Amino acid sequence: MQQQLPSRLLENVVNEFGKLPGIGKKTALRLTLHMLNQPDADVGTFVTAISQMKTDIKICPVCHNITEDEGLCGICVDDRRDHSLICVVETIRELIAIENTGQYKGVYHVLGGRISPMDGIGPKNLNIDSLEERVRNSEQPVAEVILATSTTVEGDTTNFYLFRRLSPLNVPITTLARGLSVGDELEYADEITLGRSILNRVPYSSMK
């Protein structure tokens, strides 16, 4: 049902909020009316934060992570990180997630998405050429490339494609461990995950 709104200006904002992912018409209206009731200064802060992000955020020329400067990103310039270890992720969302685990001290390569013919996204639309070049022409030899794609159909496709593209470069390629989530009840684990966790079982002594 198209809602009748008492003002076109209000309608514009509702439509704009409605374009955001996961925001339906009802939520869009709630957010809009919330905005309308906020002090001008708070709304100003909101609007400025978004505008500033759009103008001032740059992309790192090496790993395609975001950065606030013209040059390399905070991770690429960090000497304490292991630059011979490259973790390939789909977007910076996954980069942030891995960073938050505190378990990874290498560097990244952000693809900018995953291969998805349904959405018209092929290898050419992703930062794959730059990855290949980066591995091939690295100053210090690359010790390992970790393919950290999602375990979805598109993620697996991307994973396999990357494996084939990078194989000729003779660099060790690994992928994320798959198995039970921490805290999973065996009884409720899905069959595929449970099956794989049996096939990929690890010696007790090497478990981390």
Contact residues: a copy of itself, CB under 8 A: 1, 3-10, 12-13, 15-16, 19-23, 27, 29-36, 40, 42-47, 49-54, 56-57, 65-68, 73-75, 91-93, 95-96, 99-100
Contacts of 92 (CB under 8 A, 6+ apart): 65, 66, 110
DSSP H or E segment with residue 59: strand 58-59
Nearer to a copy of itself, 66 or 176 (CB): 66
**Nearest-CA neighbor of 162 among 196, 200, 114?**
114
Q: How far is the CB of 156 from a copy of itself (least distance, A)?
A: 23
What whole-number distance in Å separates Cα of residue 51 and Cα of residue 15?
19
**Nearest-CA neighbor of 92 among 120, 117, 56, 57?**
57
- One-letter amino acid of 173: I
Q: How far is the CB of 50 from a copy of itself (least distance, A)?
A: 6
Q: How far is the CB of 71 from a copy of itself (least distance, A)?
A: 14
Q: How far is the CB of 36 from a copy of itself (least distance, A)?
A: 6
Nearer to a copy of itself, 32 or 197 (CB): 32
